[in-house]
Amino acid sequence: MELEYLLNFLARLAANNTTAWMAEHRPDYQRARAACTELVRQVLTRVAAVDPDLANLTTTDVMFRLHKNDRAHRDPEPYKRRMGAGLKRGGRHAPRAGYFLAIQPEGRSWLGAGTFHPTPELLAAIRQEIHYSGDEFHRLRQAPELLRYFPDGIDTTGPQLTRPPRGYAATDSDVAWLRLKTFGVGRFYSDAEVLAPGFVDEVVAGIAAARPLVDFFNAAIPEPA
């Protein structure tokens, strides 16, 4: 894998984030994309053994595009500053919890697990699952193996409601968790960690550690008839 080349390309892209620059450096992009694809392929090859939900996925199923399809009018940059993938059953856009791997220079490479942009239906289902199974939720979010790879635990700094969600009391013991709009854990990797020989091992181990929590979230989703 040419992960050093990938990091270098993304650093150059961050400094030259225009369609004109990309057109001039298309072969460089293709080489960097191939490096990221190989990383994701190696992770997929290994990860089905720790989460069977990820079996039979291809890199095409899970890798995100570099182009910002939904960029705001005030955002002058047409491309993301990272490359990555969303690993979950059904592919990157499936409405379920899963795992997210992003490669970005300057220590911004990231592994996340959970659901960070849930549909309203998924969000409501997860809140209900926490309400019904609070003891299990707290056991899973505080599991030593999870915190070994994701020391900060579930991210509580993201968007959340100012009041309890409809149908839940302000006195509910889990109201602080029920107000969250995203449910996930994450951690950053330094460039040196990305380039280390055991990086794929580390990613797969992180996914294995997060699987019980991800399974808890996905258990809330009704299976299609």
Q: Which two tokens stand for residue 95?
A: 């409405």
pLDDT at 216 over 60: yes
Task: State pLDDT tens for residues 119-130.
Answer: 999 999 999 999
- The percentage of residues in the chain with a pLDDT greater than 90, rounded to a whole number, is 92
Cα 207 versus chain centre, distance: 10
Tell me: pLDDT of 25 over 70. Answer: yes
Model confidence band, residue 222 (pLDDT cutoffs 50, 70, 90): confident
d(CA 129, CA 83): 32
Query: Is the pLDDT reported for residue 74 higher than 70?
Result: no
What's the pLDDT score for residue 225? Answer: 44
Please state, in angstroms and rounded to a whole number, the distance separating the CA atoms of residues 120 and 178.
13
Categorize the per-residue pLDDT at 224 as very low, low, confident or very high, splitting at 50, 70 and 90.
low
25-53 as b/e: b if 16+ CB within 10 A: beebbeebeebbbebbbbbbebbeeebeb
Is residue 219 within 8 Å of residue 140, measured between CB atoms?
no
Mean pLDDT for the stretch of residues 201-207: 98
What is residue 221's predicted lDDT score, i.e. its pLDDT?
A: 85
Mean pLDDT of 34-62: 96
pLDDT for 61 beyond 70: yes
Asked if 158 and 181 count as a contact pair (C-beta separation under 8 A), the reply is yes
85 pLDDT higher than 50: yes
CA-CA-CA-CA torsion for 22, 27, 28, 33, nearest 10 degrees? 90
CA dist 4 and 192 (Å) reads 10
The pLDDT assigned to 68 comes to 87
**Counting Cβ atoms within 10 Å, is residue 22 exposed (0-12), middle (13-18) or buried (19+)?**
middle
Q: What is the sign of the dihedral through the CA atoms of 36, 69, 187 and 11?
A: positive
Alpha-carbon gap, residue 136 to 132, rounded angstroms: 9
Distance from first CA to last CA of the chain, Å, rounded?
42
Domain boundaries, the chain: 3-219
The pLDDT of residue 1: 79
- Global pTM reads 0.94
φ/ψ (deg, to 5) at 23:
-60, -35
